[in-house]
Structure 1
């Protein structure tokens, strides 16, 4: 039957089950209690009912989509009802998935209904009984019976009530719907309700849910969880929840986090955000446990939303054996200065050290229009051990210098300019004043570079820098003063010009160039009487440099065991000539150092970094690289081999007293990278000294990383120099690093790392407390609603006390991390540590909502 009323009813139609394709899982990033209930209810009350006196014939003929009226409870589909692709995408530890309801919108303001029986009176009131289905646009309501009062614009649903939207599902024993007029949200009251958000894999229950047209929602005796139906490993419950959609704020009373129905965390009152707007309130707590099973650090951060462009976080710590540490973070955004962040830590009295301890860190960066930008950073700590002692994860901190820097940059198409001021706080007390870096107060740089498509290229760099360094200080209880050459400071002017012709073909290139490098120094000293008589305080010189860089790119296809491959052969030659400038060691090496040696450094045309040493050069670098690629362009192997041939001795050295190099060739450097399969990589680097017949540098390793959370790496790194007294190599660095994260199943995984110091120490030399620089061992277990990581960690931070018998300390910790999927993570930062320690971990496959 069809009634002449906006509420159309017809005999019960045939229905069938329908389901949509599963949506991509997204992590739900709100704060704990009933985070998405506002989304559920808001979606369900936006449908407006029409108050027209009679429908058109087209409106009266609208019928319900058969597949949209028969869904599983809360739209949860067990694995057996899923398609093969859906089952394949589901982790082994999940027994099913939510699927969003597939509802075809009506595209009209009328309400269409179907029922086994329908009664209408002259006033427009209706009573529907037996498998009632009502649809309002994209909102679908079901119940055993519905009583609709036309004058009040309200309906009462009784018995097995279900409400479906494209993004949510609700079930209750009774629901009251009250229309507030066209274009206005309706009021809804649900009793004994259960709800689900299929897209977020979230569900919950409430004794009552009440919504109002002003956007406020109230829930009584409510709960929420991301666990599967029938598996309440954890949930959040609250006696009362109030949600204000207009303000984007929720509040809850008597909030409990329950694990297996046992309360483990209680908050009498809790405020939280229900949308992307920031809200003042507590953040997730974290903790760390040491090797003795003691609670080493407990943090309970509190967040302040001060203004749209300003917020702050206060983090009270309780550190075992030390006391309370108060940390705070203030962040701001401004139109003029960009983004800024201030971090401050303060401990009034360290029970272990007996001192006041603190940290200040400030950073700022931003843009001024299209061409200007700036960056600032300031660091200051109360003592050398602060960063290691106050690290809750007992991690390694090997920082020797904390930067303090301010920069302003200008850049357009060809020009760039920089104004910089830079200083440092040195944390390593084993460094004398003479070994500490210079401050740059200020540093000015102006550069020009041709960026056109012309083969002719011109570059120009102008710099002015004033270098300063602390002249006296108390270090390890002893006064140190810089005298003689070590006490020199001053200013430097740099002018570097380069003209090049860059000609390239598909098979070759040739780039001749000429450089003119000019330096001018004005030096000073606080104690000139300590200087040598022949020490100049003013120096200037210009040194040319000539270069010819050329190479070939040869290719050949070939067949390898039925596969079509391509090999390249890329020989390269670099000729460099620059005259010898005398007395450069009479100038301090303000920012210069020896270059790190690798294959690419053979073709840099210099052997120093910075601007204070202009190398005397008359050399030819020869090298060759070969690559093997498959028919898709994927590189399977690359290998390089090269060395430098010198035509004269190298007289320019970094420091006075360094030996002049008379050898007529450099060490031979070889590098190889092999990718035997998509997941395997093997690499090897060798720097071989042909004069003394030893390996100056040797690195080799192997790694495996697939898309099933299997990652393993093993590497060995060794650096040696020749001892001129004994004629034998001395080891400067020798480390072995093995790391792995291996998923045994979807549920279980093992992880570990071992970083070993393999140096051989002399009898009187300070050595580490343990050869283990870092060790990790742990496991991971997860199911569909939580993940647990347990990690044992051993570290060896540098010992800053030079009177200690060992160069490092040894620390142990036991870390726990419990992730309530879709909600938050409690415990230490195990994921962060594993990302830093295990190659590929940051790209692991990750299951969350």
Structure 2
């Protein structure tokens, strides 16, 4: 997969194909119009070369007055503006600014340079010829070599026979040679009869090649993606980037799949100010395959999703942040997909689910629903924060993909709108009391209703008061009291006892208390790991009481409508481990560093109400949560729930990662929930050399002894190129791919891309698998 400029696409939310198509065309048209407007109104600023003074220094300089010509020899240096010419011998015309240079010639223009045996060039126009030369573009470490190179402008070059590479040295690891090579810096290069060389071996040929030579954001084609899979066939994905203006850009995609058709897409990104920005994505495919239950179509289905009879497929997603007057801000999240199979099908690729999710999490700090969720959240939020209060106003629409396609009764609960006003914990006046406030008003809507699933409104007001105190300067004790008032208004709800009143109320109070202390000790270890280790232990006992309040006559919208009785004591023991190490700088200055390298918490609850009712199991599971990061090479995470009655685990999740300085790594994640799931994910990376790494990953469902996904491959990293060869297989599909990254040009290929465990991006990559 290759991408010079990150981005995603946009999708339409209409059911009708013609509306989707015309929406896409209109959006494309707007982008092109904006692009053309920007190009027409651009007003570039040019430096006038004729105003640049030129300076000559050498061991020997003579001047021919008749020809207005300087002849300089030995250690010649000519400078003017951002241009510098060095050579053993130079003839320089003061009138035309033509220069002939030979012998160890170096021409530096900005950050780029040309080295050659001899050169004829005009220093004002930078047009000329280069004999046996090499052009170096610093930002991308990019070389253009040729026996006779023509410099046709300040940023343009051509050669009848030439080569390009980003590798240094006389024998580069790779190069592309060809005839009629033309290169435009911040543009594109072309070559006819192009040959890709691996060292001295010709590895590939193409009659014509176009490649980007860009260090800045510019309109043009990006490197394509090429792959092959069982479900899609041969796949070629071509992105086209449009730099509309400094604050607006777009990427258009054409994704050809030999077995499915061509998927088109667009992603549009904009920045309105430093607090307002947005990204819009849309993809559309007229799929040549369906899953309608007829012979052969089962190859295009996914387990756990209904049959897909539609051929018009799309995905629309959008995120927008907007600063509003008076300190308010707004956030908009949209996510509408054509069918339940779409995100299963298109997880990879430039505009796939994983790429989109990673981008949105990075840019906006907000994610997408998981790819297998068929009820997808759309949200508009307007909020304001003060030092002690927070106001949130929401409109939430949950798009039920399956029900929308089936045209059945849709009882999905929507919230239009919701208003929340909360007070964070703060002192009550000048007293010793503190308080918090949770309050909200929600208006619930359903397109279709039943006797139980109704529309309505609910207001909830929940203040809580705390009285923290110290006991003998050792213990921290804090009782608290909460009061909750909830009001419902419904038009069509009738309770089990036949009560059809529109207005209903609930009054509740609850009481809580906690007592804790802190115990710590510092151990002198004086070893390579740490000089000192501090162990901090916090034992705590909490009590919570919620009385039994009858709620059977109330409507049910969410969990707030049924608050269970509670009379519970919880104990917990929390441990923190902090290491200290001292480093001495070259200036003999001592710097102390502290690191939280381990955390562990044990907890359990005792249900007094269950004991009163002679229940035999008043104790909850014993919970253990632990995080250990001994150093950058060893990490362990654990989450355990153990039943004291069954003498067995209800939950057992553990993950560990072990790495070394070579790049070898082992990662294992085991997940278990009794009667629900048991799975293991493991990965091993082996650094065969300092440049070549082999890896293998496997995820298994141990509950039914089924392999969920396997992937294996090699990654070879060199100074000027990287290649990844990978194969992946799931229950529904298999794919192979090769990804070649030629540094300075981009990535060629597609397929199951991999982030190694030793890479800092690994955890984020794993989360989005």
Structure 1 and Structure 2 fold alike (TM over 0.5): yes
Which of 498, 502, 505 matches 2:464?
498
Q: Aligned equivalents of 2:466 and 2:263: distance in 1?
A: 58
Which of 379, 382, 387 matches 2:338?
382
Q: Report the CA distance between 1:440 and its aligned residue.
A: 0.8
Q: Report the CA distance between 1:29 and its aligned residue.
A: 6.2
The yes-or-no answer on 1:622 pairing with 2:563 is no
What is the total number of aligned residue pairs between the two structures? Answer: 661
Structure 1 residues 533-552: Cα deviation after superposition (integer angstroms, max 9, x where no partner): 36775421121222223321
Structure 1 residues 311-369: Cα deviation after superposition (integer angstroms, max 9, x where no partner): 33332222243222222223344469933333222223423446322224142222224
Q: Report the CA distance between 1:390 and its aligned residue.
A: 3.7
**Residue 679 of structure 1: aligned partner:** 633
**Residue 399 of structure 1: aligned partner:** 373
Q: Aligned equivalents of 1:648 and 1:30: distance in 2?
A: 60
For 1:301, what is the secondary structure of its paired residue?
strand
TM-score with structure 2 setting the length:
0.75
**Residue 544 of structure 2: aligned partner:** 576
Which of 591, 594, 605 matches 1:644?
605
Residue range with higher mean Cα deviation, 129-138 or 119-128: 129-138
Structure 1 residues 281-319: Cα deviation after superposition (integer angstroms, max 9, x where no partner): 222211232269x84432112233445544333322222
For 1:422, what is the secondary structure of its paired residue?
strand
Is the Cα contact below 8 Å between 1:413 and 1:451 reproduced in 2? no
Q: Report the CA distance between 1:225 and its aligned residue.
A: 1.5
**Residue 476 of structure 1: aligned partner:** none
- The verdict on how the C-alpha distance between 1:337 and 1:660 changes in structure 2, with shifts beyond 3 A counting, is farther
Q: Aligned equivalents of 2:577 and 2:251: distance in 1?
A: 53
The yes-or-no answer on 1:288 pairing with 2:223 is no
Alignment of 1:73-88 (within 5 A): none
Q: Aligned equivalents of 2:427 and 2:167: distance in 1?
A: 60
The yes-or-no answer on 1:511 pairing with 2:450 is no
For 1:330, what is the secondary structure of its paired residue?
strand
- The verdict on how the C-alpha distance between 1:661 and 1:45 changes in structure 2, with shifts beyond 3 A counting, is farther
Which of 721, 728, 742 matches 1:820?
742
**Residue 196 of structure 1: aligned partner:** 136
- The verdict on how the C-alpha distance between 1:774 and 1:238 changes in structure 2, with shifts beyond 3 A counting, is same
The yes-or-no answer on 1:315 pairing with 2:253 is yes
**Residue 180 of structure 2: aligned partner:** 239
Q: Report the CA distance between 1:771 and its aligned residue.
A: 0.9
Q: Aligned equivalents of 1:45 and 1:391: distance in 2?
A: 52
**Residue 618 of structure 2: aligned partner:** 664
The yes-or-no answer on 1:341 pairing with 2:290 is no
Q: Aligned equivalents of 2:605 and 2:329: distance in 1?
A: 41
Q: Report the CA distance between 1:580 and its aligned residue.
A: 1.7
Q: Aligned equivalents of 1:46 and 1:187: distance in 2?
A: 13
Q: Aligned equivalents of 1:662 and 1:590: distance in 2?
A: 33
Q: Aligned equivalents of 1:250 and 1:705: distance in 2?
A: 42
Is the Cα contact below 8 Å between 1:411 and 1:417 reproduced in 2? yes
Q: Aligned equivalents of 2:411 and 2:657: distance in 1?
A: 38
Is the Cα contact below 8 Å between 2:755 and 2:762 reproduced in 1? no
Structure 1 residues 66-122: Cα deviation after superposition (integer angstroms, max 9, x where no partner): xxxxxxxxxxxxxxxxxxxxxxxxxxxxxxxxxxxxxxxxxxx6321125xx54445
Is the Cα contact below 8 Å between 1:407 and 1:420 reproduced in 2? yes
Q: Report the CA distance between 1:841 and its aligned residue.
A: 5.8
Q: Report the CA distance between 1:675 and its aligned residue.
A: 4.4
TM-score with structure 1 setting the length:
0.68
Q: Aligned equivalents of 1:347 and 1:523: distance in 2?
A: 43
Structure 1 residues 774-813: Cα deviation after superposition (integer angstroms, max 9, x where no partner): 22222212322221112221224xxxxxxxxxxxxx3222
**Residue 417 of structure 1: aligned partner:** 391
- The verdict on how the C-alpha distance between 1:744 and 1:110 changes in structure 2, with shifts beyond 3 A counting, is same
Is the Cα contact below 8 Å between 1:444 and 1:464 reproduced in 2? yes
Residue range with higher mean Cα deviation, 303-312 or 814-823: 303-312
Q: Report the CA distance between 1:226 and its aligned residue.
A: 0.7
For 1:648, what is the secondary structure of its paired residue?
helix
**Residue 358 of structure 1: aligned partner:** 313
Q: CA RMSD in A?
A: 4.2
Q: Report the CA distance between 1:821 and its aligned residue.
A: 1.9
- The verdict on how the C-alpha distance between 1:781 and 1:419 changes in structure 2, with shifts beyond 3 A counting, is same
Is the Cα contact below 8 Å between 1:133 and 1:140 reproduced in 2? yes
Is the Cα contact below 8 Å between 1:234 and 1:257 reproduced in 2? no
Q: Aligned equivalents of 1:434 and 1:516: distance in 2?
A: 38
Structure 1 residues 672-723: Cα deviation after superposition (integer angstroms, max 9, x where no partner): 3444555223343321222333322112333213454333211222112xxx
Is the Cα contact below 8 Å between 2:3 and 2:222 reproduced in 1? no
Q: Aligned equivalents of 2:119 and 2:596: distance in 1?
A: 64
For 2:168, what is the secondary structure of its paired residue?
coil
Alignment of 1:744-823 (within 5 A): 744-759=688-703, 771-796=706-731, 810-823=732-745
Q: Report the CA distance between 1:155 and its aligned residue.
A: 3.0
Q: Which 4+ runs in 1 deviate beyond 6 A?
A: 27-31, 42-49, 393-396, 428-436, 452-455, 504-507, 659-662
Q: Give 5+ residue unaligned stretches, structure 2.
A: 7-44, 292-308, 355-369, 582-593, 764-769
Is the Cα contact below 8 Å between 1:357 and 1:383 reproduced in 2? no
The yes-or-no answer on 1:540 pairing with 2:526 is no
- The verdict on how the C-alpha distance between 1:257 and 1:560 changes in structure 2, with shifts beyond 3 A counting, is same
**Residue 329 of structure 1: aligned partner:** 267
Q: Aligned equivalents of 1:28 and 1:325: distance in 2?
A: 17
Alignment of 1:827-842 (within 5 A): 827-828=749-750, 830-831=752-753, 834=755, 842=761
- The verdict on how the C-alpha distance between 1:757 and 1:839 changes in structure 2, with shifts beyond 3 A counting, is farther
Q: Report the CA distance between 1:189 and its aligned residue.
A: 5.0
Which of 228, 244, 251 matches 2:168?
228
Q: Aligned equivalents of 1:421 and 1:119: distance in 2?
A: 81
- The verdict on how the C-alpha distance between 1:498 and 1:680 changes in structure 2, with shifts beyond 3 A counting, is same
Q: Aligned equivalents of 2:226 and 2:573: distance in 1?
A: 54
The yes-or-no answer on 1:459 pairing with 2:433 is no
- The verdict on how the C-alpha distance between 1:336 and 1:419 changes in structure 2, with shifts beyond 3 A counting, is farther
Q: Report the CA distance between 1:427 and its aligned residue.
A: 4.5
**Residue 454 of structure 2: aligned partner:** 488
- The verdict on how the C-alpha distance between 1:403 and 1:277 changes in structure 2, with shifts beyond 3 A counting, is same
Q: Aligned equivalents of 1:276 and 1:589: distance in 2?
A: 56
**Residue 216 of structure 2: aligned partner:** 276
- The verdict on how the C-alpha distance between 1:273 and 1:502 changes in structure 2, with shifts beyond 3 A counting, is farther
Q: Give 5+ residue unaligned stretches, structure 1.
A: 1-26, 32-41, 51-108, 472-481, 593-610, 652-658, 721-730, 761-769, 797-809, 845-849
- The verdict on how the C-alpha distance between 1:190 and 1:440 changes in structure 2, with shifts beyond 3 A counting, is same
- The verdict on how the C-alpha distance between 1:377 and 1:29 changes in structure 2, with shifts beyond 3 A counting, is closer
Is the Cα contact below 8 Å between 1:536 and 1:586 reproduced in 2? no
- The verdict on how the C-alpha distance between 1:333 and 1:138 changes in structure 2, with shifts beyond 3 A counting, is closer
Is the Cα contact below 8 Å between 2:57 and 2:76 reproduced in 1? no
- The verdict on how the C-alpha distance between 1:159 and 1:30 changes in structure 2, with shifts beyond 3 A counting, is farther
For 1:383, what is the secondary structure of its paired residue?
coil
Structure 1 residues 51-74: Cα deviation after superposition (integer angstroms, max 9, x where no partner): xxxxxxxxxxxxxxxxxxxxxxxx
- The verdict on how the C-alpha distance between 1:136 and 1:47 changes in structure 2, with shifts beyond 3 A counting, is farther
- The verdict on how the C-alpha distance between 1:687 and 1:564 changes in structure 2, with shifts beyond 3 A counting, is same
